[in-house]
Amino acid sequence: MSITITDIVSIVKKIIDISIVWLVFYVVLKNIRNNVKLSLIFKGVAFVIILKLVSDLFGFTTIGVLLEYVIMYGPLALIVIFQPEIRNILEQLGRNQLLGRHKILTVDEREKMVYQIVNAMDYLRKQRIGALIVIERDISLGNYIDKAKKLYADLSSDLLISIFFPNNPLHDGGVILQGDRITVAGAVFPTSSSSKLNTKRLGTRHRAAVGISEETDCISLIVSEETGKMSIAIKGELFYNLSIDDIRMMLIDELRPKQDLEDDEIIENEEDIYEEDN
């Protein structure tokens, strides 16, 4: 049986078709993972589908009918209710960077970056000066950069301190860092509506820090104006009242390239296997 050119072209088309489908799934799932709200939506949809399968399997008529209505009208309700989140994810797909800016930094540049940020935060906490510093990673913050005051300046602790100094026109907003440069100041971020946050204890800066970390994979650093306490928000989780050493270690760990983290995981797994064998 001979294979013709037409057969080869058909096989190539099918491979390309399947590859595109998998690429779309990968991009969508990656962005869902990096967005706390969308990941919760995804889990909710998966739960409804599993519950529907279980009801069909055991013949639960009432719950089955109700779930059919949920599945029928649910997508429309999700589009209406979560329109801002869907718009943000579409914007992120258009603005995503293949490589985060922090990845191209050398070890010395990353250490210098952490040193400047930590020095600034240490001064700001002692003086009880509020601050919000957001570090961009894989997901672009271009939508917030476009609406803020452009600086494009080299990162330094003195510049960060001067930006957040009282009566400075830019001190109320947040600063966005791309790599070892201050891109903008006075940036405004969405505030989180998470029920886990203590709204009486936390102000607008903390809720904004958590809000932007829910939508992207950025690192948000906060200095409280009222108490001088320092915090970090990552992936929608707030680490409150950290010491200066905690801030330094978390920054060093979070700013490491993914390849280094993967290599460490491989080494740890090999060590665990070795210990089990012995």
pLDDT-derived band at 77 (thresholds 50, 70, 90) equals confident
Q: Could you report the per-residue pLDDT of 186-238, keeping only the tens digit for each?
A: 999 988 877 777 656 788 899 999 999 988 889 999 999 999 999 999 988 99
Query: Does 97 have pLDDT greater than 60?
Result: no
The C-alpha atoms of residue 97 and residue 32 are separated, in whole angstroms, by: 16
* The model's pTM: 0.64
The C-alpha atoms of residue 178 and residue 134 are separated, in whole angstroms, by: 9
Q: What are the C-alpha distances in Å from 141 to residues 75, 79, 81?
A: 28, 23, 23
> What does the DSSP 8-state code read for residue 225?
T
Identify the weakest region by mean pLDDT among 99-103, 180-184, 259-263.
Answer: 99-103
Mean pLDDT along residues 86-96: 60
> In this predicted structure, what is the pLDDT of residue 5?
81
Sign of CA dihedral 31, 35, 41, 42: positive
Query: Does 98 have pLDDT greater than 50?
Result: no
The share of the chain scoring above pLDDT 70, in percent, equals 79
> In this predicted structure, what is the pLDDT of residue 102?
43
Q: Tokens standing for 238? A: 């707030």
Q: What are the C-alpha distances in Å from 218 to residues 63, 133, 179?
A: 41, 10, 12
Q: Could you report the per-residue pLDDT of 1-14, keeping only the tens digit for each?
A: 567 788 788 888 88
Locate the domains of the chain by residue range.
5-95, 101-256
pLDDT-derived band at 99 (thresholds 50, 70, 90) equals very low
Q: What angle do CA 232, 131, 197 make, to 5 degrees?
A: 45
E runs forming strands in the chain = 131-135, 149-154, 174-178, 181-187, 219-223, 230-234, 237-242
Q: Could you report the per-residue pLDDT of 13-70, keeping only the tens digit for each?
A: 888 988 888 888 777 776 666 666 667 777 788 888 888 888 888 888 888 888 888 8
Question: Which CATH architecture describes the domain 101-256?
Answer: 3-Layer(aba) Sandwich (3.40)
